[in-house]
Amino acid sequence: MSVAPVRQLLAQAQLISAFDYAPGYVGLLSRGVRAIARLHAAFARLATDLLPVRVVASPELTEVETYRERYGASHDYQNVYALTTPSGRHVVRPDSLAEMVSQGAATPGTMLANPRPIFRADTTSPSPLMRDKHLWGVVQAVTVTDPTTCDAVLRDHAQLVTALHTEIRLPMLLVEAPPLRAHADRRYLSFCVTPNGRLWLTSTLYVLGRGLTDPMGGTGPVVELGFTAKLLALAVAAHSDAVGPLLPCALSHEQVVSAGEGRPWEGLVRRARRE
């Protein structure tokens, strides 16, 4: 299943508009906003069952020089937007990693970023909820740990992302990948397959490099788990059929069930039109 049919399913389910606001800026409809909020809520509930969790907020604007000091040590983060305000140049809605590492070094526990979109200045091929400039449904979970507990924390995060895929009825394989430059010393990636056999990356789980996290205020190994609303799109793609879109119950606010012979319907709902 290519991106185009996925987009058609999302539009048919009234999660996104059939037209983008601009390339890379998907027209997310209210139904899509609610589905993404339910995805966030499901993840937060599962995280709370496994880990000591707190939600942290990060600023909408970060001074450009501060951003460069935090991120410039191991990777050149140039795919961000910046604007000039009366107080200077600021990066607009960057990811929350630096803020979370800084806070995590001061207070133990796993942090979940306050759900919000983030901006990316360029993409190779914008596609709705798959690779956008305006990334909706971004989730980051970060734990600042120490060498003696890092493996246990990594296992907890792996269990968490597995539980989330199970919750939204999405088959998943978690595999170990080689280190990523100076960004990640250890790296695990989760994948799922849509009915046509196409492989999709669904989440990333890293033990981040100290060259990246020390300038952010890290005091030990940092475990980071991240995913986006791509999971919502793939959940629709994985379960929809010739009749129309289907959503896992965990993501749908309408609990209308259709039954069919030979179909594993448990945990899935079809959106019903309201006349």
How much is the mean pLDDT over the chain?
83
For residue 275, what pLDDT is reported? Answer: 28
**For residue 183, which amino acid is it?**
H
Q: Which of 107-111, 121-125, 146-150, 230-234 has the highest mean pLDDT?
A: 146-150
258, 248, 135, 177 alpha-carbon torsion, rounded to 10°: -130
* pLDDT tens per residue across span 196-222: 788 899 999 999 998 888 888 888 899
Residues of the chain with pLDDT > 90, as a percent, come to 29
Q: Which strands make up the sheet holding 53-56, listed edge to edge? A: 53-56, 110-113, 139-144, 222-227, 199-208, 184-193, 173-177
For residue 123, what pLDDT is reported? Answer: 66
Of 157-166, 173-182, 194-203, 246-255, which gets the smallest average pLDDT? Answer: 246-255
Task: With a cut of 50, say whether residue 179 has pLDDT above it.
Answer: yes
For residue 262, what pLDDT is reported? Answer: 47
Task: With a cut of 60, say whether residue 94 has pLDDT above it.
Answer: yes
- Band (pLDDT 50/70/90 cuts) for residue 270 is low
Across the range 151-180, mean pLDDT stands at 94
Task: With a cut of 80, say whether residue 74 has pLDDT above it.
Answer: no
The label of the residue with tokens 């983060």 reads 77
**Cα 70 off chain centre by:** 22
* pLDDT tens per residue across span 17-40: 988 888 888 888 999 999 999 999
Residues of the chain with pLDDT > 70, as a percent, come to 87
